[in-house]
Amino acid sequence: SYDLSQPHSVSVSPGQTASIYCSGEKLGDRYVCWYRQKPGQSPVVVIYQDEKRPSGIPERFSGSNSGNTATLTITVTQVEDEADYYCQAWDSGTAVFGGGTRLTVL
Amino acid sequence: EEQLLESGGGLVQPGGSLRLSCAVSGFTSETFSMTWVRQAPGKGLEWVSTLSSSDGNTYYADSVKGRFTISRDTSKNTLFLDMNILRDEDTAIYYCAKEEPYYSHNKAYYPGYFALWGRGTLLVVSS
């Protein structure tokens, strides 16, 4: 089975840049999307197709994907960005999620 | 406004059965692939099943294959998940999600991404 790995947690100060990594074998050959989940809420897509931003998602969210690693970057991180972030890709008709990264903004 | 509203969760004994529903509004569900994703308490997201709009096929995680069935009623614009032989480890919030295709050179490709999620419904399997 295909696995996606993420760090359990990332901490960043408000106004700084946060980078969350997602690794998987030849991940760059697949499209990756990123979901944000705040406590008690449903997930929301923040990046799809590696680097595209849905309407309503701030420009400070960006994504990239190459080699074995996809990256979600949040510039000028806000306190409201504190949440769990999950990467996701497809493998033979199966959706695979990373284990999730808790982003703490303090 | 597009919305998904799950229902049907509850407390079930191990070995029991339950049907979850996902009422779709604001769009026609048969036009899009639809998916169930679950999240055990304090854990991450786990894909459960997808009903493909492009080929009508169904896909299941190994953990539920043979026990769960995904289907839809187009007249009611509703997605279902029939769950049998439930286990303790099936305890989770179950979300339904609308899948949007990826686009490349103006052509749509599935599988895509989960563009819209419902609020979820909680299933607890316990004796």
Beta-carbon count within 10 A of B103 CB: 12
Q: Which residue has the higher pLDDT, B54 or B4?
A: B4
d(CA A8, nearest CA chain B) in Å:
11
Task: Spell out the residues 6+ positions from residue B15 whose beta carbon is closer than 8 angstroms to its own.
Answer: B85, B86
Peptide bond into B111 cis (omega under 30): yes
d(CA A49, nearest CA chain B) in Å:
7
d(CA B8, CA B97) in angstroms, rounded, equals 16
pLDDT digits (tens, 9 = 90+) for B11-47: 999 999 999 999 999 998 888 999 999 999 999 999 9
**Nearest 5 degrees, angle CA B99-CA B104-CA B108?**
40
Do the Cβ atoms of A35 and B59 come within 8 Å? no
pLDDT digits (tens, 9 = 90+) for A73-105: 999 999 999 999 999 999 998 999 999 999 999
Asked if the model's pLDDT at residue B113 lies above 90, the reply is yes
A31 has a chain B CB within 8 A of its CB: yes
Asked if the model's pLDDT at residue B108 lies above 90, the reply is no
At residue B20, the pLDDT reads 98
d(CA A90, CA B95) in angstroms, rounded, equals 18
A35 has a chain B CB within 8 A of its CB: yes
Question: Residue B6 carries which DSSP code?
Answer: E
pLDDT digits (tens, 9 = 90+) for A17-67: 999 999 999 999 999 999 999 999 999 999 999 999 999 999 999 999 999
Asked if the model's pLDDT at residue B110 lies above 90, the reply is no
Of residues A84, A90, A100, nearest to B111 (C-beta)? A90
pLDDT digits (tens, 9 = 90+) for B38-88: 999 999 999 999 999 878 899 999 999 999 999 999 999 999 999 999 999
Contacts of A91 in chain B (CB under 8 A): none
Q: Quick one: which H or E segment has residue A9?
A: strand A9-12
At residue B55, the pLDDT reads 80
Question: Residue B26 carries which DSSP code?
Answer: S
At residue A29, the pLDDT reads 95
